[in-house]
């Protein structure tokens, strides 16, 4: 199976380096946040978990749509940045955790998404098992990654090739998710892969 978390050992999300990385994740994120919220059909009845939320653009988008949202990230500096950027915190909780250990109750979410984060997860199968645990039956999972070219390196490799998107979809099926789809979307100028599925 093709590896989909090829940047699992990325060192740059803590301390000053993390802060600088987080600052680069603020501009231009609106279209992706709106896309994931649109595709998930987020409404006021949803309980959303944003895994690897970074500075929290998609968290704020879901909260604007009336959902209760938990932004989870392993990097304290990301959560500090996210809090500092959040003027209307109603409905939002920030929590330290990882995809592999979300520290949230069973069946507590109706939507779980990860934007530009799965390629950093330490253990994708553990992350998917954890997603299945925290999602209620019928809950939606979405992973979004930038489209990258096979053989890309450095910053240009932070995303997925077509093969990696398909591989993640296969892992979702293997983890017990239904209705698994791989799609391409291009909000703004970016080409993105979206893998989405439903928890039975
Ligand atoms: C490229 S940033 C994307 C942030 C945000 N989702 C966005 O699109 O702006 C990747 C994020 O994944 C987080 N991350 C790294 N390893 C993770 C893991 N094992 N579980 C969850 N999040 C992780 C990082 O701390 C970082 O905030």
Determine the Cα angle at 132 with ends 127 and 30, to 5°: 70
Q: Considering the domain boundaries, does residue 2 fall inside one?
A: no
Number of domains within the chain: 1
Q: 148, 146, 141: which is closest to 180 by C-alpha?
A: 141
Query: Residue 32's domain spans which residues?
Result: 15-198
Q: Considering the domain boundaries, does residue 8 fall inside one?
A: no
Give distance in angstroms: CA of 179 to centre of ligand 1: 25
Q: Considering the domain boundaries, does residue 140 fall inside one?
A: yes
Q: Considering the domain boundaries, does residue 39 fall inside one?
A: yes
pLDDT digits (tens, 9 = 90+) for 89-126: 899 999 999 999 999 999 999 999 999 999 999 999 99
The reply to whether the predicted model has a pTM over 0.95 is yes
Q: Is 5 in the pocket of ligand 1 (CB under 6 A)?
A: no
Determine the Cα–Cα distance for residues 32 and 160; give it in Å rounded to an integer: 16
- Residue having the nearest C-alpha atom to atom 17 of ligand 1: 121
Asked whether the beta carbons of 149 and 35 are under 8 A apart, the reply is no
Q: Considering the domain boundaries, does residue 54 fall inside one?
A: yes
pLDDT digits (tens, 9 = 90+) for 120-173: 999 999 999 999 999 999 999 999 999 999 999 988 999 999 999 999 999 999
In sequence order, the β-bridge partners of residue 94 are 71
């Amino acid at each position: 199976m093709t590896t989909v978390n090829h940047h699992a050992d990325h060192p740059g999300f803590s301390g000053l380096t993390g802060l600088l990385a987080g600052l680069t994740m603020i501009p231009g994120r609106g279209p992706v946040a709106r896309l994931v919220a649109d595709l998930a059909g987020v409404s006021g009845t949803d309980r959303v978990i944003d895994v690897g939320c970074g500075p929290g653009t998609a968290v704020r988008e879901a909260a604007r749509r009336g959902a209760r949202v938990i932004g989870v990230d392993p990097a304290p500096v990301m959560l500090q940045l996210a809090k500092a950027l959040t003027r209307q915190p109603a409905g939002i909780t920030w929590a330290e955790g990882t995809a592999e250990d979300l520290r949230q109750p069973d069946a507590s979410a109706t939507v779980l998404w990860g934007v530009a984060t799965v390629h950093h997860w330490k253990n994708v199968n553990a992350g998917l098992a954890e997603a299945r645990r925290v999602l209620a039956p019928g809950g939606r999972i979405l992973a979004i990654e930038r489209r990258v070219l096979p053989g890309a390196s450095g910053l240009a490799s932070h995303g997925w090739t077509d093969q990696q998107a398909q591989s993640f979809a296969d892992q979702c099926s293997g983890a017990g998710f239904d209705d698994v789809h791989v799609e391409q979307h291009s909000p703004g100028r970016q080409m993105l892969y979206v893998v989405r599925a439903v928890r039975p």
